[in-house]
Amino acid sequence: MDPVFTGVGVALVTLFDAQGELDADGTAGLAARLVELGADAIVVAGTTGEADALDDDERLVLFSAVRRAVGDTVVVGGTGSASTFQAARLTARAVDTGVDAVIARTPRGLADPTGYYRALADAASTTPVLAYHFPAVSPPGIPVEMLPSLPVAGCKDSSGDATRLLATVDSYRGPVWTGNPALLHQAGALGCAGGILALANVAPELCAAAFSGDADAMRRFTPTHLACERDFPRGVKQLVAKRFGTSEVVRMG
């Protein structure tokens, strides 16, 4: 199974104006800047992008705006929702925005995500669907033993669990992306497809170097990584604002 992309994908922040209204153009402009700095893909309206605070129309506007801004760079749209019905409906609409793939976090409390991802794959038609394991936010997440049977084109693992990553690579033959910068070196050594990272909003160059095996790059980005995780997603927004002069306004938290 060929990965949708390899390397570092940005789990893109979503920018809002002073009134909390969506700034799609500003978000797309940031995405384009990150591509210039070496990002290999842009993942829009995921957890870092405050997807739970966006309505479907706002997500679709973001997908289209980022698609226009980044040229041929891979764009992945976040279509995870609280229910299978909502996620499938959004996925069906998302494919018309030109995204290269969609990614969907499992709903909270869903023990068996098989039907969920089957519905999304049907709605997406020929557009790849990526699974998204993030048990800290959407427990219980995706059991490792279920991954091989899911109708998906890969999985993002944001557990931050090194043993879980090992178990996934051992039992699942599809592409895997880590969601935790602390595991980038391990992910690269294990032959994972890459990372999808909030940190890449701030330090895409160091993330790319770390995935390539540069341990010094990991040491250099560690203070920024820790700062990103404090008061999430506000901490990420503040660091992005410091580097790029963007808005710090959040809807979540």
| Pick from 203, 196, 186, 213: nearest CA to 242 | 203
Which of 21, 42, 123 has the alpha carbon at shortest distance from 80? 123
- Terminal-to-terminal C-alpha distance of the chain: 38
Q: Are 8 and 32 in contact (CB under 8 A)?
A: no
Integer Cα distance of 180 and 150 in angstroms: 23
Q: Is 156 known to be catalytic? A: yes
Distance of CA 100 to the CA centre of its chain: 13
Provide the 8-state DSSP code for 49: T
Annotated catalytic residue, options 132, 172, 237, 242:
132
Catalytic-residue membership of 172: no
Instruction: List, in order, residues 6 or more apart from 23 with CB less than 8 Å away.
Output: 15, 16, 17, 247
Q: Which residue shows structure tokens 């990965």?
A: 3
Longest CA pairwise span in the chain (Å): 47
* Catalytic position from the list 116, 117, 156, 237: 156
Catalytic residues: 132, 156
